[in-house]
Chain A
Amino acid sequence: MTSDTRLLPHSRNGWLMLTAGAVALAIAPQFLPLYYVELGTSALIAAMLALSMQVLVGATGLVSLGHGAFYGLAAYTVYLVSPESAAQPMWLTLPLAMAVAGLAAFLVGLLSIRTSGFFFLMVTLAFGQMIFFIFHDTKLGGGTDGAYLGKPLISAFGATFDLPRRQRPLGIYYVALIQLMLMYAGLALLLKTLFGRALEGIKVNEHRMRAIGYDTYTIKLIAFTLAGSLAGAAGHMWALHRGFVNPEIVGWHQSAEALLMILLGGLGSLHGPILGALALTGLGEATQVLTEVSKAPYVPEKIAALLRLLGERKLLVEGLVILAVVIMLPRGLAGIGSKRLDKSGGGHA
């Protein structure tokens, strides 16, 4: 049978690896210092954003540079309803943030989905920048320096989940992890529906999809809206994690970074963006490790100097790694280890 989407693992082993990865993420905080737990939360949030973008890029073939705006908009929504002095419960802020982001995505989508390819990229960029300017240039969201908000309370069904101060980052980590897993599971189910197949058809050959009778505009609009509201969940999580909003999180750089994570992780799988997000976050940390290593007594001076240089030059390392990936791994990090497939990718038949 050929009814399974190629974005999901094709074999039992694939699913096993994925489960193992999830378990590793679940138990890792037990062994890590608090700072790394918080760094992990940042990585998970980045993964949520990248995963939501994969609905567009990997599943539908739509590349948007406005996606980050929905993420930032959701964080600002939390700021507007949950001021520092009066934190609101998460069961209220999360659906609200997702709804606002989804609504914004719907409106942007209504107009921009008429265009395609590079033009779509630019129109979404334009709309994203309009949202950016709302928060950067008006007083609505605290202006250029950003503003603080009350971190939404982790609560559901009347019970508030609270931990002692030192433990709180742990709780937030798990909230992010659970959301990421739910998002993955939900999208996996979606891709297994007929709708998921239609998305794939659009990605492969949209023109033909219209010719065989698909309303591709509506299908893409649904995907765009859904992706926007999922980005909203990620933005909400950023607000919950940081308690701080800044116009930078609305800017197009967020979209570019999420796209980078997808490309690094691999376009061809749903878990690729998660790998990409973890890798890119880890890379920033790894350069610091290089500096530490350079100080070890047994490292020859020349190598130490090189390590110091790389350790100080986070962007240089990032650039070189990306260059290496794009030249050597055309299918992204998720392509490592899987059998080399021909271009048509028919390994699952």
Chain B
Amino acid sequence: MSLPSFLAQSLNGLQYGLLLFLISSGLTLIFGVLGVINLAHGSLYMVGAYVAFVVARATGSLWLALPVAVLSGIVLGSLLERFLFRFFYKREHLDQVLLTFALILLFEEGRSLSVGNDFYSVPIPQALNFSIPIVEGFSYAAYRFVVIGVCLALAAALFLWIERSKMGAIIRAAAEKPEMVDALGIDPRRVHLTVFAVGTALALTAGALNAPLSSVYPNMGDNLLIISFVVVVIGGLGSVTGAFWSALLIGMIDTMGKAYAPAVAGLAIYVLMAGVLLWRPSGLFGQRA
């Protein structure tokens, strides 16, 4: 292992970790505040990627695709919350599992009916279609730096919102004690709607942002769903800070594993999760078990 290649791998790990953060922060918020285990979160990521693809194909501009994905996320999240999830908060967790499982199937079929089953690549915007050499014999696509930048900016905005706004205070309280939402004098329905919409928008944004790097294909959210749950669990349910550090940790471990110990790379994150949970049963930043 040489130092330059290690640096290059670290950059890979960082970028992957930040992407995981965008997905898992929404997951952890929705779980923390609404108590819903949303298995369809990976499908939301998939929807975001396809939105980017469809918009970019129609208009030729990925720059337009990103805001469209964010808006679609807010709208989709609000609709789902208002007309479906709202009626399931008081139901058992397992009913929510069943509901969101059904949603996975419906999202996938909807995607198949409307866009088809083929693998599509999404072109990187022309202005960014170049590479920056970072070490001898290995360059980094400029767009990847953009992804890193946007992810960091979104993370910062999310932290500000949660740490500084009144809604954020409620969200933090609710992540520790869900009963708190009712006690803090804001219409809980508004809190639920907002959190669900934001979480959904984050997932769609992640999908759209990553589409030029991952391409779009059926069931593309499946793998990320599981790994995002791992991130959420290691970070601690409901903790956005926890999700951030745990996403970076997983991104690094997964990347380094693939690079330097491919035989055990698949196992590494699961071993890590089992280890963390046996050591700290409520995750690294978790408040409740």
Contact A319 B106 (CB under 8 A): yes
Complex CA gap A133/B271 in Å reads 12
List, in ascending order, chain A residues with CB within 8 A of B102's CB. Answer: 319-320, 322-323, 326
Contact B277 A123 (CB under 8 A): yes
Contact A263 B98 (CB under 8 A): yes
* Contact A323-B99, Cβ < 8 Å, known A129-B270, A130-B271, A133-B267: yes
Contact A123 B274 (CB under 8 A): yes
- In terms of DSSP, what is the predominant structure of the interface of chain A? helix
* Contact A322-B94, Cβ < 8 Å, known A118-B237, A122-B233: no
List, in ascending order, chain B residues with CB within 8 A of A111's CB. Answer: 274, 278
List, in ascending order, chain A residues with CB within 8 A of B103's CB. Answer: 319, 323
In this complex, how many residues of chain A approach chain B with their Cβ under 8 Å: the count is: 38
List, in ascending order, chain A residues with CB within 8 A of B98's CB. Answer: 260, 263-264, 322, 325-326
Residues of B165-224 contacting chain A, CB below 8 A: none
List, in ascending order, chain B residues with CB within 8 A of A125's CB. Answer: 226, 229, 270
Q: How far is the CB of A136 from chain B (nearest CB, A)?
A: 8
In this complex, how many residues of chain B approach chain A with their Cβ under 8 Å: the count is: 38
Q: Is B241 an interface residue (CB 8 A)?
A: no
Residue of A112, A325, A330 touching B91 (CB-CB under 8 A):
A330
Contact A119 B267 (CB under 8 A): no
Q: Which residue of A lies closest to B229 (CB)?
A: A122
- In terms of DSSP, what is the predominant structure of the interface of chain B? helix
Q: How far is the CB of A50 from chain B (nearest CB, A)?
A: 14
* Contact A130-B267, Cβ < 8 Å, known A117-B289, A260-B98, A313-B109: yes
Complex CA gap A127/B230 in Å reads 12
Q: Is A63 an interface residue (CB 8 A)?
A: yes
List, in ascending order, chain A residues with CB within 8 A of B97's CB. Answer: 259, 263
List, in ascending order, chain B residues with CB within 8 A of A293's CB. Answer: none
* Contact A118-B274, Cβ < 8 Å, known A137-B263, A316-B106, A326-B99: no
| Chain A to chain B contacts (Cβ below 8 Å), 24 pairs | A63-B93, A111-B278, A114-B281, A115-B289, A116-B289, A118-B93, A118-B233, A119-B233, A119-B283, A126-B273, A126-B274, A127-B270, A129-B270, A130-B271, A137-B263, A137-B266, A263-B94, A263-B98, A264-B98, A319-B103, A319-B104, A322-B98, A322-B101, A323-B103
